[in-house]
Chains A and B, each alone.
Chain A
């Protein structure tokens, strides 16, 4: 199941060239890029593992792409995303986030229904590999 989240989730996967251009845009706005990876794409899993430190003060997307290549080499079968952090006072938050790598075989999200407190129905999702 193709799992999507963040920016460009309605588009097909970005090519490296397209990723590079998006990074170029982020850097032109003065945002810092952080690389994160995970093997669990569950929507409730918001905190992914950081791959190295977020990269501040970069001028050219090549630096970020080198980091992405290193991350892909180490975790070829993980989800990898870029977070663009805006340090402007008053924002100080991630302003853009998009997936740049996904495993060849993706896990599936299943929905589970259960009855609690008499006839009340509760739903939850879980990942199946």
Chain B
């Protein structure tokens, strides 16, 4: 075969062949809601695909900056999307291995002088060829303590993000307001991150959808009464403190399963598979959410 660059390229064939389509389809099917996020990822995928085509045809190109920031409230799917993103970048050939290394401040910042740099570098070495996901990245920067070692970790990160752009992609994640503050005080990060993706909160109907998705995966079914109770539960839970979107729903379902197991155990007798996999209205109604949240917090509200 000749080493000449090809004259034409079929973008759609390329899209199918790279496996990017599978990842995007997976994203569409497995994740409920998050329309703006999906849109942004689709755009990014298109950009990368076009960039790759340009490279194949021998046009001028430079490796795009792929570092990203994911902002959104807890439980909005940042980690899950990061995992998909790693797969996508791997399929498109922008990272060599496509694994995700998920870290927080504790993994990067040391406890005494001279401890931070080796620790950060070790994590970075593990992340080479993949995606480094820094959850709650704003904890790296503590403005109240000027001798905080987080600054050292930030400097090493910035250096690697600039010099090893071909080797790893860094994704910073956290709550929107605190991330904004973090970027304001670390302008180096803002300029090195090209893609800012915001994760919106789920609507109640999306949360309900997610709940039924989770239950189907675990082979549980809800009675009609339980469905209504769940919808009511979601409405009440949203307005209570420490609401963490899908994570709160998962915890609520876990507790409902606990109550169901306890109910079945107390009732005793002979049971069949249908009984074992049915969650009744009473299992959900027993939640403290219907009585106005945790006792300690209710007290706090009245004061």
Contact = CB atoms under 8 A, between A and B. Distances in A.
Interface in B118-161: 118, 121-122, 124-126, 128-130
Contacts, number: 36
Interface in A16-63: 52-53, 55, 57-60, 62-63
A58 B121 CA distance: 12
A63 B167 CA distance: 9
Contact of B129 (A52, A53, A60, A67): A60
A105 interface: no
Interface residues of A, number: 12
Contact of B99 (A53, A55, A59): A59
Contacts of A67: 125
Interface string B90-122: 000000110100000000000000000010011
A90 B271 CA distance: 49
B128 A59 contact: yes
Contacts of A57: 126
A67 B124 CA distance: 11
Interface residues of B, number: 14
Interface in A62-80: 62-64, 66-67
Contacts of B124: 63
The interface centre, meaning the residue of A53, A55, A62 with most chain B CB atoms within 10 A of its CB, is A62
Given A55-B125, A66-B125, A67-B125, A60 B118 contact: no
Contacts of A52: 118
A89 B241 CA distance: 49
Given A59-B97, A60-B129, A62-B96, 12 more contacts: A53-B122, A55-B122, A57-B126, A58-B125, A58-B128, A59-B128, A60-B96, A62-B128, A63-B129, A66-B121, A66-B164, A67-B125
Interface of A: 52-53, 55, 57-60, 62-64, 66-67
10 contacts: A52-B118, A55-B125, A57-B126, A58-B126, A59-B129, A62-B164, A63-B126, A63-B129, A66-B121, A67-B125
A-B interface, 7 closest residue pairs, ranked by CB to CB distance from nearest:
A60-B129, A63-B125, A62-B128, A63-B128, A60-B128, A59-B97, A62-B167
